[in-house]
Structure 1
Amino acid sequence: MACGVLVGALVSCGHADEPAAAKNGAAADRTEHARPRPVGLDQIPDVGEALRRRIPSGSHQVVAVHGKGRNSADSTVTLFTKQGDAWHKGPTWSAHNGKKGWTRDHHEGDKRSPVGVFTLSDAGGVLPDPGARLPYTASAAFQAPAYWGREYHHDFDYVIAIDYNRVKGTPPDDPHRPQGYTKGGSIWLHLDHGSGTSGCVSLPGSAMEYLLRTLDPRQHPVVVMGDDADLES
């Protein structure tokens, strides 16, 4: 699987081999609590025409993931909200993506995050629903396996499924993959453990709580994700 291993009923993502710089449960949030800009933007910055055309016209919430480089695990995440014809910039957070960077042709086990535009339809996690607007499934089945190590223990306290090779309207850990197993799957937004993932995008705990309470299915939220070069192309 692109984001981890199948343990019992759990489809897990986000495990990396290198030591973590911080445990997510107590990780520094590194959050810029930016208020929406009073003057709207015509377009989401640094997103080129190719990906911009793939943002559905009805989407009024975009989670933009900007990777530092094609082979880098470091990224930033910014929430943009559309009001009328203008996009307004919200909070920005430091984040991590696949430990080997990004790819436009994601496959199981490549340790890279897929470049593209994907809808955000379902959420869940080990912890109870924090007030999510997306459908939320709370279950101990999300718990990362113990053999991953303590630094990964809180990775899946909260998760938001990225609709890459999955069935919308199902819990994030649903194992079905419409494009087949080799195309990977279980690509999530989840809590950060301080280093690269196996394909997911990881954020501070406060960021995940904010997104869960903000992303609204009535606004048709999507994630636009990739390294800077691919985003701008």
Structure 2
Amino acid sequence: MLARIPATARQVLMVTGRTADSNEARVMLYQLDPGAGWVPVAGPWPARNGLRGWTDDHDENDLRTPIGVFPLSDAGGLLPDPGTRLPYDQDEGFTASGAGHLGEPLDGAFDYVIAIDYNRVPGNSPLDETRPLGDSEGGGVWLHVDHGGPTNACVSLDKAYMLALLRVLDAARHPVVVMGPQAALRA
């Protein structure tokens, strides 16, 4: 996976699950230091991902999180911009309701989100539903606030960690997320 990180990237968010079927993960943020290489700057933080784990062939509604390296270019949420250096879209469309896979309430899950550039058009609000690979490949894969259970395909973090991440990610550093189970990330 290291070879798939773009040369322009100066921030890498690693999201690692134990196994391909795990819906619990660990998140670490690294920043490129010209003298020292990739230096950890935040984490490790617990996270959740898709109910059925990970996939390298994501389909709409498979309840798995896509494996790969994806840019992080846009953010948004129901709440005001907390001071991010990513383009931020505050919109009532980020309202989450209903219950998650374990019956947990989804309220507040989209208070803050960061779009993972999987099957989306970078430079647009995370709410934009344009899917360049087609609707069957899924989309709307975000980092968002944890609601106490696994996700459909997103990665969720405690609200305090989402705020910290929003405040440190910088569009000028071309952040990317590298995500998947440990075995896939070592390949």
TM-score range relative to shorter protein: over 0.9
- Following the alignment from structure 1 to structure 2, what is the Cα–Cα distance between the partners of residues 150 and 161? 23
Measured against aligned partners, the alpha-carbon deviations of 1:146-193 in whole angstroms (never above 9, x if no partner) come to 466772101000000000000000000101000000000000000011
Change beyond 3 A, Cα 1:182–1:173:
same
Structure 1: 5+ residue runs without aligned partners? 1-50
Deviating more after overlay: 210-219 vs 141-150: 141-150
Q: Is the 8 A contact 2:51 2:64 kept in 1?
A: yes
Aligned residue number for residue 122 of structure 1: 74
Aligned residue number for residue 52 of structure 1: 2
Query: Are 1:141 and 2:107 counterparts?
Result: no
Q: Is the 8 A contact 2:97 2:105 kept in 1?
A: no
Aligned residue number for residue 150 of structure 2: 196
Amino acid at match of 2:38: W
Aligned residue number for residue 3 of structure 1: none
Shift of 1:145: 3.0
Shift of 1:194: 1.8
Aligned residue number for residue 184 of structure 2: 230
Amino acid at match of 2:114: I
Q: Is the 8 A contact 2:24 2:150 kept in 1?
A: yes
**Which residue, 4, 9, 15 being the options, matches 1:65?**
15
Aligned residues: 183
- Following the alignment from structure 2 to structure 1, what is the Cα–Cα distance between the partners of residues 73 and 5? 15
Query: Are 1:158 and 2:109 counterparts?
Result: no
Query: Are 1:132 and 2:61 counterparts?
Result: no
Secondary structure of 2:4's aligned partner: coil
Query: Are 1:81 and 2:26 counterparts?
Result: no
- Following the alignment from structure 1 to structure 2, what is the Cα–Cα distance between the partners of residues 225 and 117? 7
Structure-2-length-normalised TM-score: 0.95
- Following the alignment from structure 2 to structure 1, what is the Cα–Cα distance between the partners of residues 105 and 182? 29
Query: Are 1:173 and 2:127 counterparts?
Result: yes
Measured against aligned partners, the alpha-carbon deviations of 1:58-85 in whole angstroms (never above 9, x if no partner) come to 1110000001211010100000011105
Aligned residue number for residue 41 of structure 1: none
Secondary structure of 1:225's aligned partner: strand
Which structure shows the higher strand fraction?
A: 2
Shift of 1:212: 0.7
Shift of 1:90: 2.0
- Following the alignment from structure 1 to structure 2, what is the Cα–Cα distance between the partners of residues 124 and 146? 20
Amino acid at match of 2:54: W
**Which residue, 44, 54, 62 being the options, matches 1:110?**
62
Structure 2: 5+ residue runs without aligned partners? none
CA RMSD of aligned residues (A): 1.2
Shift of 1:206: 0.9
Amino acid at match of 1:87: W
- Following the alignment from structure 1 to structure 2, what is the Cα–Cα distance between the partners of residues 172 and 222? 16
Larger relative contact order, structure 1 or 2 (CA cutoff 8 Å, min sep 6): 1
